[in-house]
Structure 1
Amino acid sequence: MTIYRAVVARVRPLTPSMARITFHGEDLAAFTSTGVGDEYVRLFFPHGADRTDVSLPESTENGGWRTPEGQPEAPVRNYTIRSARPEAGEIDIDFVLHGHGTASGWAAAARPGDVIGLNSPAGLYSPPADLAWQVLVSDLSGLPAAGRLVENAPGGVTTRAVLEVPDAAAVQPLPDRPGVRATWTYGGNGHGPSRLAELVEAAIPPGTDLTGGYVWVAGQTNALRAVRRYLRKELKLPAERFKVVGYWMPDGDTWTERYEALPADVRSELDRMWDNPADEPEDLTIRYEERLSTLGL
């Protein structure tokens, strides 16, 4: 894994709820995009008031990172790459502006010259070789990835995107061409109950011919638990036919604190749930998420 130093080059408001920040820098000339539409990086933010002072971590031999001894630990958040232009040494990242949190607060005040760190990208979108149609569903947090996936949709593949945003002001232009269709709905996103599970079921109802299909869903993590169950248990989709990616959680900043406050035996029980290698990872995830739900997590 490589750690890059990136400098804000431009800030462009896209909608009242999202801004696009372009990063550049000598380091980014070596940035290698995976080309996968939902590729993401970890962003390392300044730890203090100086927006150019970032305690960049060091790569480790096992593919991780560590903070240099004696240096403060940088706040870290995961973000999708909206576009990458290695020839220009630039990448774009779209930030949701929701008025709270480390990343959103930083982005709201971003200006040219600000500095962050980021690591090598990884992608999750992985359609099967026989892809004939795909359904992409996300809330506002997944919109940058969904937008890039729509833009990169292969010719001859029917692509339907269903996008839940707070209101009409959050809608962004997406390609309009044969075989590609975007549907916008309003709600969720912390302003009301998420409708992601409902939207997935409406887009792929029981009885749908699933031959050649692929489903990608991203957004509010706890709302996606019902989505995963529906795709896996009701539609009986093989794991390689869908990807469900949690991007954010209500009160996410306290989630780890609440998890660590669980009794030791409960945390051990949760850890042991991953110990059966004979089970499919998606089935393990479903059982794990069901247990988290019973614990209020």
Structure 2
Amino acid sequence: MEIYRAVVARVEPLTATMVRVVLTGGDLSKFASTGVGDEYVRLFFPHGPDRHDLSLPVATETSWETPEGSPTAPMRTYTIRAVRPEVNEIDIDFVLHDHGVAATWAAGTRPGDPLGFNSPTGLYDPPEDVTRQILVADQTGLPAVARLLENTPDHITTRVIVEVPDQASVQPLPAHPRAKVTWAYGGNGHGPSRLADLVTAALPEDSDLTGTYVWTAGETTALRTVRKHFRKTLSLPSSRFKVVGYWSPNADSWTERWEALPADVKAELEALWEDPKDDLEDVTIAYEDRLSGLGL
């Protein structure tokens, strides 16, 4: 694990609801990208009103820790849209809204503002025999969808479905000779997520999924239904799909409700992950079903 420091080079508006922050300098010359299209990092933000007052954690072998006596930097997870080592730049796209540490920072950031982040991790991992992929995401998944399209070989047929708040949030995606893109409107915190319906419409129960890989990202709670559809309805092996929860509605209250759970309930949930005998996707479904039953 490494912790990097960079500064904002410029800010580029993308749509009415997204902005691109281009990072440069600092430790970027040492940054090692995985090259995977949906690679993500933990961003460390200034901890107070001074935008230059950034207290970075110290890297450990597999994680990080805040030095004793230092303030804890607020942290959020974001996908890297692009890496340009030849000019020492990284692009990170932010969804703009009226609350939250990251969105507030992105809305007001200026060139020269510092930002920290850790080593990247990629999740997209199609089998070698893939001939078709289906990418479904809400607005938070747009940066990954765009980069995945850029990295997709020309012979792979690609179906892209993206849910954005409205037409003003649509943005150009990289061209691909065998890609079809559909935009849907709704969700994204402005109404109920349509991700589950979009997935089941694109992949009904009788779908022929030979050679297919499915990647889905967006609102975490909505994706619980998506995961069950892949495993229980379509009987997809875990190597044929990836479900990535990017955000949760009312995340702060969710954390408070989790912390309020009785100790024995927390222990029961955590025990599901200890030496699991089932496929990890099936364990995840059992875990998420239990969360849903608890109102989480």
State TM-score, norm by structure 1.
Answer: 0.98
CA distance in 1, matches of 2:277, 2:270: 16
- Do the aligned partners of 1:136 and 1:216 also contact (CA within 8 Å) in 2? yes
What percentage of aligned pairs have identical amino acids? Answer: 65
Question: What do you get for the CA RMSD once the two structures are aligned?
Answer: 0.9
- Do the aligned partners of 2:43 and 2:116 also contact (CA within 8 Å) in 1? yes
Residue 229 of structure 2 aligns to a residue whose secondary structure is helix
- Show the counterpart of 1:149: 148
CA distance in 2, matches of 1:35, 1:176: 19
- Show the counterpart of 2:129: 130
- Do the aligned partners of 2:149 and 2:176 also contact (CA within 8 Å) in 1? no
- Show the counterpart of 2:104: 105
- Aligned pairs (5 A) from 1:77-92: 77-92=76-91
- Show the counterpart of 1:42: 42
- Structure 1 segments unaligned to the other structure (5+ residues): none
- Do the aligned partners of 1:136 and 1:162 also contact (CA within 8 Å) in 2? yes
CA distance in 2, matches of 1:209, 1:133: 11
Residue 221 of structure 2 aligns to a residue whose secondary structure is coil
- Do the aligned partners of 1:26 and 1:89 also contact (CA within 8 Å) in 2? no
Q: Return the offset for 1:276.
A: 4.5
- Do the aligned partners of 1:190 and 1:250 also contact (CA within 8 Å) in 2? yes
CA distance in 2, matches of 1:68, 1:26: 20
CA distance in 1, matches of 2:292, 2:14: 35
Q: Return the offset for 1:46.
A: 0.2
1:225-281 Cα deviation digits (max 9, x unpaired): 000000011100000000000000000122222101011111111112223421110
- Do the aligned partners of 2:160 and 2:180 also contact (CA within 8 Å) in 1? yes
- Aligned pairs (5 A) from 1:233-252: 233-252=232-251
Q: Return the offset for 1:86.
A: 1.4
CA distance in 2, matches of 1:207, 1:94: 36
- Show the counterpart of 1:172: 171
CA distance in 1, matches of 2:184, 2:175: 17
- Do the aligned partners of 2:276 and 2:283 also contact (CA within 8 Å) in 1? no
- Do the aligned partners of 2:4 and 2:26 also contact (CA within 8 Å) in 1? no
1:41-99 Cα deviation digits (max 9, x unpaired): 000000011111111111113x1111111110000000000000112111000000011
CA distance in 2, matches of 1:178, 1:58: 45
CA distance in 1, matches of 2:193, 2:124: 22
Runs of 4+ in 1 over 4 A off after TM superposition: none
- Do the aligned partners of 1:165 and 1:189 also contact (CA within 8 Å) in 2? yes
- Do the aligned partners of 1:32 and 1:86 also contact (CA within 8 Å) in 2? no
- Show the counterpart of 1:190: 189
